[in-house]
Amino acid sequence: MPHGEHLSKRGISIIPTCRVILVPIGISGAHAVVGSHADDLSNIQWRVASWRVTSHPLSSITKLILLWGLCLVEKVAASKPFRILSLDGGGAKGFYTLGVLAEVEAALGAPLCERFDLIYGTSTGSIIGTLLAIGKSVADVHELYKEHVPTVMRPWLPSQKTAKLTELAEAIFEDDGFDKVKTGIGIVATNWLLETPMIFKADNGQAHGRQASFVPGFGCKLRDAVQASCSAYPFFSRKVITTSKGNRVELGDGGFCANNPSLYAIADAVEAFKIPRPDIALLSIGVGVYPSPKKVTFSPSWTLNKLPSVRLLQKVLEINTQSMDQLRKVLFSDVRTVRINDTFSQPEMATDLLEHDLTKLNLLHQRGEQSYAAQEQCVLQLFT
């Protein structure tokens, strides 16, 4: 995605002065058409960004009309928020996320890549977010989850889980690179050796420095970035990638640094894209909070959950999620935000990130739909 495209599609001219520059406004998530004509002008509002009189000076009255129109549409452009979708990690509990998103997409009446300027995801949120960013519908993603999540989560050994995750990533993303995304994206992973975040992005407008050497996705394929973000060690093996610079990097699950990636997404909007805080609208979706499931004694899953390292990982991810949201509230209290991540205490809702029972996963999807319903008006206000 070319540098500055996000600014262009928000009604800000980035083209050198010509006689008349017309820029469409009010087209959320679509590639901006800049110029004096387009294939379909019927439903596009245009604004005059600048003009330079050469051989045919404009009359004074024409200039006044243009100035009046410019002031009018500038107000429209300024009122359009920069919309962010942030999706938490949580393994199979992403079915809850999909339940929420199914209702969001139905209410907005369009693919979510056309309604959000930036989509961030961690772990299971990176799978969902990346599929949405390349134009998939929520229903498409839900079908993929029903088909593949049980086969990924059911094996006991990490090597088996990793092999199934690799098969899934290759099947759904094939050989696609970051040029396939249709809106801004952030896929959060963790550099295992440096102990720092490594965030895969498509637009060098998101770069915090070193824009001249920016390469979309560090030169990796979408499948590699997503698998890295989902490599929840020790449940899964860590992922090794090779960047466009030839660097081999060992990566772990993005949840180690930001299981809730909303802070990183806001940072891109504020610091990289220079969007004023009042113009940002954030929809942050978790995976729900549930009681721990009771495992059959001496079963493989019971044995796995008895390991201190495994119990510690699950606790770290849960604490990370909550702490990131607390920080967001403190640092960005002036950013309009809707957070959907309900807590369920009923015994029948007991589950974890390794759930592979489709009946239980369907129940999570239903709870996501209900969670959306409870905050529907708040969500819709982000789009007004």
User: Which residues have a catalytic role annotated?
Assistant: 123, 253
Q: In what helix (H) or strand (E) does residue 83 lie, and over which residues does it extend?
A: strand 82-87
Q: Mapping DSSP to helix (H, G, I), strand (E, B) and coil, where does residue 261 land?
A: coil
Q: DSSP code of 277?
A: G
d(CA 38, CA 327): 44
d(CA 87, CA 96): 11
Q: In what helix (H) or strand (E) does residue 316 lie, and over which residues does it extend?
A: helix 308-331
> In this structure, are residues 252 and 187 in contact, taking their beta carbons and an 8 Å threshold?
no
Q: Mapping DSSP to helix (H, G, I), strand (E, B) and coil, where does residue 329 land?
A: helix
d(CA 82, CA 79): 9
Q: What is the phi/psi pair of residue 139, to 5°?
A: -60, -40
Q: In what helix (H) or strand (E) does residue 266 lie, and over which residues does it extend?
A: helix 262-267
* The two structure tokens encoding residue 161: 């889980």
d(CA 320, CA 322): 6
Q: In what helix (H) or strand (E) does residue 379 lie, and over which residues does it extend?
A: helix 376-381
CA diameter of the chain:
87
Residues 6+ apart with CB under 8 A from 83: 28, 115, 116, 117, 118, 281, 282, 283, 382, 383
* Residue 165 Cα distances to 248, 255, 258, 315, angstroms: 20, 17, 21, 23
> In this structure, are residues 90 and 124 in contact, taking their beta carbons and an 8 Å threshold?
yes
